[in-house]
């Protein structure tokens, strides 16, 4: 169970990363549309697991590779945004939230 502080920092990171991917870091997304669905922060605030929804889904691997390569740049830009509000800027790990694909698959199976 996450603490209140973890939830607040997670929401802060989620909001700022979403804004960054729309405006400042468009070249990191390889032409795909990204949506930050959730951010889970470790209890010591040093790691953050960022869950992304990527459209179209066939670009998922390319986008994750690009984000892994540019991780330091993304963290630096994020640090400039939230540096006054948090003491530690967490290391970011990106994961795919494929719940939309799962929903589509279940929906198509139910229609058959």
Express each pLDDT in 44-77 by its tens digit.
999 999 999 988 888 889 999 999 999 999 999 9
Q: Which domains does the chain have, with CATH numbers?
A: 4-111 (3.30.300.20)
Give the whole-angstrom CA distance, residue 73 versus residue 50.
Answer: 15
Strand runs (DSSP E) across 1-112, as ranges?
A: 33-41, 47-55, 91-96
User: What pLDDT shows up at residue 47?
Assistant: 96
* CA pair distance 21, 102, nearest whole angstrom: 24
45: region left, alpha or beta (phi > 0 left; psi from -120 to 50 alpha): left
Rounded (10°) angle between helices 71-82 and 60-69: 70
Residue 101 is inside which H or E element, if any?
helix 99-111
Q: Which two tokens stand for residue 97?
A: 């939230």
Q: Rounded to whole angstroms, how far apart are CA atoms 2 and 24?
A: 30
pLDDT band at residue 99 using 50, 70 and 90 as cut-offs = confident
pTM of the prediction?
0.85
pLDDT at 2 over 90: no
């Amino acid at each position: 169970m996450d603490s209140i502080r973890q939830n607040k920092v997670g929401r802060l990171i989620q909001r700022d990363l979403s804004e960054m991917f729309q405006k400042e870091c468009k070249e990191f997304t390889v032409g795909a549309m990204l949506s930050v669905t959730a951010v889970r922060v470790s209890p010591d605030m040093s790691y953050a697991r960022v869950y992304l929804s990527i459209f179209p889904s066939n670009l998922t691997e390319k986008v994750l590779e690009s984000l892994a390569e540019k991780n330091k740049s993304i963290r630096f830009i994020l640090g400039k945004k939230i540096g006054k509000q948090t003491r530690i800027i967490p290391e970011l790990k990106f994961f795919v939230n494929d719940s939309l694909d799962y929903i589509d698959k279940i929906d198509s199976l139910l229609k058959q």
